[in-house]
Amino acid sequence: MAKSHPKKLSEQQMLDDEWRNFPIVISQRKCIPSTEKADEFWHEISQLVDQNGDKELQFLPTFMLNVLSLLHSNAAFERIFSQVNDIKTKKRNRLITKTVKGNILDQQSIS
């Protein structure tokens, strides 16, 4: 997320301006993206050009696509940690990573 957020104050201001002007930009367009998928929508928005051929929105579509790529949950990682804790107990604390990985893969293939 840090990479997608504009670092310069001027770029942050441009992102804010684009966000506030977005409804106006869309209302002036005759062809509004009709897709229901958010990533396709923002990709189509990123392709909009003005009369000079310049991108109409420089920062907003990229920022929104980066926001959409964030993980919504860490449940998958928590599940793996739980499996590792089940395998690597106090009595089995000398297991090497390769063995733990093999045991986890075995459990997943059985489930």
Note down pLDDT in tens along the chain; length 111 residues. Answer: 445 566 688 888 999 999 999 988 888 877 777 778 888 999 988 988 888 988 989 899 999 998 888 877 788 888 888 888 888 888 888 888 888 888 888 888 886
User: Does residue 3 fall inside a structural domain?
Assistant: no
- 61 and 20 inside one domain: yes
- What's the predicted TM-score (pTM) here? 0.57
In which domain, by residue range, is 102 found? 75-110
Q: Which residues contact 18 (CB under 8 A, 6 or more apart)?
A: 57, 58, 59, 60
**Per-residue pLDDT, 17:** 93
The answer to whether the CB of 19 falls within 8 A of the CB of 64 is no
Query: In the chain, how many domains are there?
Result: 2
The DSSP symbol for 58 reads S
- 79 and 60 inside one domain: no
Which phi-psi region, left, alpha or beta, contains residue 53 (left: φ > 0; alpha: ψ -120 to 50)? left
User: Does residue 20 fall inside a structural domain?
Assistant: yes
The answer to whether the CB of 90 falls within 8 A of the CB of 81 is no
